[in-house]
Structure 1
Amino acid sequence: MDLSQISESLQRDAVWVVFLNVLLQQAGLPVPAVPTLLLAGSLAASPSQLANILAAAIVASVLADWMWYLAGRAFGYRVLAGLCRLSINPGSCVNQTEARFIRWGLGSLVVAKFIPGFSTVAPPIAGALRMGLPGFLLAAAAGAALWAGAALAAGWLLRQEVHSLVGVLDRQSGGALLVLLGIVAIWLGWKLWQKYRFRKLAAVPHITPDELLAAQAAQRPLLLLDLRGPAMVAENGAIVGATLAEHDRLLDAVGDWPKDQLIVTLCACPEDAGAIQAARRLLDADYQTVRPLKGGYEAWLATANANP
């Protein structure tokens, strides 16, 4: 099917095409929705049809967000951890996401659709934090309306330019495919480069849970920074002797701790990403001995239970 046929199909079934496209994207599948919204906006025959398409996009987005909200409410922090494990770059999906969500509150849901990555993790965080459902749905709907409305309005206002671009792409379908493949290759290369950078960043000495427990038993001076999010701390309890910390306020958590004494960073995130990032920041701030905990909270918990 060429682009002209796709445009005709979209013009005929715009409401359902937009609904399914937005639903699949907001459910977490790598299906871009903005190009569809732009094209649908440019093909709308009247403002009333444009309003119907917008309503379909809002309903689809809120429905997907509601499902993620329920998942977060039922399974708690494990949902966010699972989403982060799907990330090509685990360093981009760590506990500060939750801290920022808490700081921004409902407003974070309104702007979430405009922030890549945050759009998917915000609803399960809201569920895990037991945010009230009416407020969540209202904020999710407002965010969806702004996001989808902006794309549809751009398509409507620039419909002549969009139609011209579709015509050019239709005539140069082979070249357009190469350009698309090039863009995908650049995006994938950028992500893999970020992953490579994280691997280099992770090359910092770690401390094992056994070594940490031995140091605590020997009463060696050490500062244990717990970087887990508030939802997980509330769900599983605080760690005795640990100091709760946020990535954005890391130096405040360290306080006046001597720079020549041991600091251990702990998180509950894929590949210890948050703990490694925090350790690197403290080392850059001239703290001499900073060690991420190998295996994170789960490893610490298993070791602590085996050595009561």
Structure 2
Amino acid sequence: MDIAHLQHTLQRDAVTVVFVNVLLQQIGLPVPAVPTLLIAGSLLAAPGPLARVLAAAIVASVIADALWYAAGRRFGYRVLAGLCRLSINPASCVSQTEAHFIRWGVSSLVVAKFVPGFSTVAPPIAGALRMAPAGFLAAAGAGAGLWAGLALGVGWLAQDAVLALIAALEAHAGRAALWLVALAGLWLGWKLWQKYRFRRLGAVPRISAAELLAALDSDAPPLLLDLRGASMVAELGPIPGARVAEHDRLADAVGDWPKAAPIVTLCACPEDAGAIQAAVRLRDAGYRSVRPLDGGYAAWCAVARPSARP
């Protein structure tokens, strides 16, 4: 749908268009909603129609968030792991976002819509961590109101500029399309470059699960850092002898561990992304023997003794 078509459709039934657009975007489809809200705000001059469109955006956003919340509450960490695997960049692990959510609490849901990538993962994290439904819905509604209200308000206040931009895009549709394709190509190229950099970063020595078990039974066992994330640890239980760690607080997790002593990092991310990142950061901090567990938590469960499994 081009801008002109969107403009004419909004003039006919702005409430339905905004509701459907916001619902699809918040569910996770690559359908931008902010341009729709900006155009809707520029076309609706009266407070009544603006209020109805704002209400439609809030309801659509809360419905999508509630679906993700229910999925997180029902399936727990498996939903978060699935979102992590869908990411084009394996280094953007959900467990890191989860740590921020736990630290910020309810306020994180209010600002989630303004943080790229956080909007989709925050609701299932809230569900997985058993956040109270009433508090979740209130925070999700407040965040949706701020996000949609700001976009509609900007469109209303800058309606002349928005309408002029629409006219310019209509007059130069071919050039605008080329610019959009170029920007999309740059974004995709940047993401692929991040993936390439991660794969180069991932070329670090690893330890197998069997080697880890043997090392834990030795006279000088390594420090095992569990980076799985709070919801997975709460659901499946801690790993005996491991320290639960957060990426932003690795120094606290390591404590006074000698820098020459061995450390093993473990996560449940695709391609061991979180464990690799933590290992590299600890090496940069001066710890000389840090290795991620090859295969992560799944590899640990495959070889661990029954008494050692969570």
Q: TM-score range by the shorter chain?
A: over 0.9
Question: What amino acid is aligned across from residue 145 of structure 2 in structure 1?
Answer: A
Structure 1 residue 40 corresponds to structure 2 residue 43: no
Write out aligned runs for 1:33-72 (5 A): 33-72=33-72
Question: What amino acid is aligned across from residue 229 of structure 2 in structure 1?
Answer: G
Q: Contact conserved, 1:94 with 1:274, CA < 8 A, in 2?
A: no
State the partner residue of 1:195: 195
Matches of 1:138 and 1:219, distance apart in 2: 53
Structure 1 residue 181 corresponds to structure 2 residue 181: yes
SS in 2 for 1:95: helix
SS in 2 for 1:13: helix
Give TM-score scaled by structure 2 length.
Answer: 0.97
State the partner residue of 2:291: 291
Q: Deviations over 1:167-221 (max 9, x none)?
A: 0100111001001101101111111111111111111111110110011122333
State the percentage of identical aligned residues. Answer: 69
Q: Contact conserved, 1:272 with 1:292, CA < 8 A, in 2?
A: yes
Matches of 1:296 and 1:35, distance apart in 2: 41
State the partner residue of 1:249: 249
Tell me the C-alpha RMSD between the 2 structures: 1.3
Q: Contact conserved, 2:15 with 2:52, CA < 8 A, in 1?
A: yes
Matches of 2:151 and 2:158, distance apart in 1: 11
Q: Deviations over 1:241-296 (max 9, x none)?
A: 11111111101111111111110000111111110110000000110010000111
Unaligned 5+ runs, structure 1: none
State the partner residue of 1:279: 279
Unaligned 5+ runs, structure 2: none
Question: What amino acid is aligned across from residue 202 of structure 2 in structure 1?
Answer: A
Question: What amino acid is aligned across from residue 198 of structure 2 in structure 1?
Answer: F
Q: Deviations over 1:104-137 (max 9, x none)?
A: 1100000000000010000000000000000000
Matches of 2:219 and 2:52, distance apart in 1: 66
SS in 1 for 2:225: strand
- What count of residue pairs does the alignment treat as equivalent? 308
Matches of 2:156 and 2:305, distance apart in 1: 61
Write out aligned runs for 1:133-172 (5 A): 133-172=133-172
Question: What amino acid is aligned across from residue 248 of structure 2 in structure 1?
Answer: D
Matches of 2:64 and 2:2, distance apart in 1: 30
Q: Contact conserved, 1:224 with 1:264, CA < 8 A, in 2?
A: yes
Question: What amino acid is aligned across from residue 112 of structure 2 in structure 1?
Answer: A
State the partner residue of 1:212: 212
Matches of 1:5 and 1:260, distance apart in 2: 65
Give TM-score scaled by structure 1 length.
Answer: 0.97
Q: Contact conserved, 1:69 with 1:125, CA < 8 A, in 2?
A: yes
Matches of 1:184 and 1:193, distance apart in 2: 14
Structure 1 residue 264 corresponds to structure 2 residue 264: yes
